Amino acid sequence: MNRRDSLLHLLSWPLLASAEPAGSPAAQEAATPPRRPLRAADLLADAKVLRRAYEALHPGLLRYNTPEQMSANFDALDRALSHDRSLAEAYLAFSIFAARIRCGHTYANFFNQKKAVRAALFERDDRLPVHFVWLGRRMIVLRNFSSDAAIVPGTEILAIDDIPVATILERLMAIARADGGNDAKRIAWLQVKGEEPIEAFDVFLPLLFPNIGSRQRLRVRAPGAASSRVTIVEALTAVQRLAARPVQTDGAGPLWTLDVSDPELPVLRMPTWAMYNTRWDWQAWLQQAFETLTRAAAPALVIDLRANEGGDDIGDVLLAHLTTQPLQLKRERRLVRYRRVPDDLAPYLDTWDPSFKDWGSSAQDFDDRFFRLTRYDDAEGGNRIVPRTPRYGGRVFVLIGATNSSATFGFAQAVQQSGLATLVGRPTGGNLRGINGGAFFFLRLPNSGIELDLPLIGYFPCGELPPDQGLAPDVLVEQTMEDIAENVDADMRAVRQRLGRLPKPT
């Protein structure tokens, strides 16, 4: 058994019996009803729908599993659901199963659950009252929201309610979503930095450790201290957790910023490329941003993508403003499992584009398992980027990290391939062996009401099989506890160290 498989084995299915739903009275009232168990027969029927849909439609089901392993995963799910379960237990069982596919786009998506599920499971008042990152397997505080003012940035949390954080992380890793063996992505997904309205750590900590409640006993160690101490803190409510996030727009305002406070090194911060639910004209904003940059003739530009998992293919537009000649990107095979969705599955599948249910002639025969998808921009030589004006001609640095696992992962690959910018930071999420995504069904299980995302397009590299890992940056930067304690941006420091005196762009 390899290390990843042993990690998954640590979260055994019988553990589900110890998890009980809890939360605020308002959250429990919104559930239907919160403590009524879901019948085993109904849950097994949901599992049957899930298996039918994933085996028929999921392009990455066997990317990291053999048919025998995948069959064993489905059987384990059936065993976990062979008794009546609470909604929390059922959600946990489906989440554990999804993690075993080892696809970063396959999970019981927090944001696609119906209102009753979200209220019962995600609106709880037991949030750890800090923002934190994992440095290796160590939990390091970024911001403190508790009444204990001595928990300063750089403080290490060693245990929560006497449970070592190493134990907590080990359990959580077995449920985290990522592509293949990319554990850096799993760890990044389990941080709490205020970047998402619903944090994975907040969701799964009480499901796996139901005794951790609204009053929490923390063992902490101050920056530079040799010894630790114990402190009792009150957890944050779900409302307080949301309030601690950076200011967000209402969908009509800009989602990005262009910081020109340093005229020698402007910073374009892009925390998301998910534009499907915004009324903001991002194309016009980006055009104006490049006009500003070219007028200022700044010698260098930083594009900060560290908080950006992905979304739309905005990276193609960025590349178009950076290149002087047409750019031919490396071609990947885009494969799908079906030409037309089987009729028996149609009632359980939602999506934003009904044409995903029938690819028609765009799905061409490939082999005995896949169809090759020719829809979209699948020219014979790969995606072609045509230059746009204005062109920015200075030196470009792109800040990356393990969060980048979808469109931003693809952009990082294109940047490294083209040489148009320097990648700075830590290895990306995603996987060099390819990812799944591009189009999705939202699989809604009929009895539990739980939704699981189902990616439809598998991206497979041509030629020799690459290593099972994310993309390494050109400049590797390791963040330290001292950087956090001193509020130092190590990635920006690395950029500045490499700049020196640069000529004005031409």
Burial environment of residue 386 by CB neighbours within 10 A (0 to 12, 13 to 18, 19 or more): exposed
How high is the pLDDT of residue 276? 82
Alpha helix (H) ranges present in 12-142?
Answer: 25-30, 40-57, 67-80, 87-99, 115-122
Domain chopping of the chain, boundaries: 3-122, 130-243, 257-499
Q: Are 87 and 94 spatial neighbours (Cβ–Cβ below 8 Å)? A: no
How high is the pLDDT of residue 396? 98
The DSSP output letter for 281 is: -
What tokens were used for 244? 């601690």
How high is the pLDDT of residue 398? 98
Containing 131, the helix (H) or strand (E) segment is strand 130-135
SS (H, E, C) 380-400: CCCCEECCCCCCCCCEEEEEE
Dihedral pair phi/psi, residue 439, rounded to 5°: -150, 150
Specify the pTM.
Answer: 0.89
How high is the pLDDT of residue 28? 36
Q: Are 269 and 301 spatial neighbours (Cβ–Cβ below 8 Å)? A: no
How high is the pLDDT of residue 8? 30
Q: Are strands 215-221 and 156-160 parallel, antiparallel or unpaired?
A: antiparallel
How high is the pLDDT of residue 248? 64
Mean pLDDT by runs of 10 across the 506 residues of the chain is 32 37 36 69 98 98 98 98 97 98 98 94 95 96 98 98 98 97 98 95 96 96 97 97 80 89 96 90 97 95 97 95 92 94 98 96 97 74 83 97 97 96 98 96 98 98 94 97 96 94 50
Q: Which amino acid is at 9?
A: H
The DSSP output letter for 107 is: S
- Gap between the Cα atoms of 451 and 422, Å rounded: 39
Containing 457, the helix (H) or strand (E) segment is strand 451-461
- Separation of CA 366 from chain center: 30
- Gap between the Cα atoms of 376 and 354, Å rounded: 15
Which class in CATH covers the domain with range 257-499?
alpha beta
How high is the pLDDT of residue 247? 67
Return the CATH fold of 130-243.
Pdz3 Domain (2.30.42)
Q: Are 359 and 378 spatial neighbours (Cβ–Cβ below 8 Å)? A: no
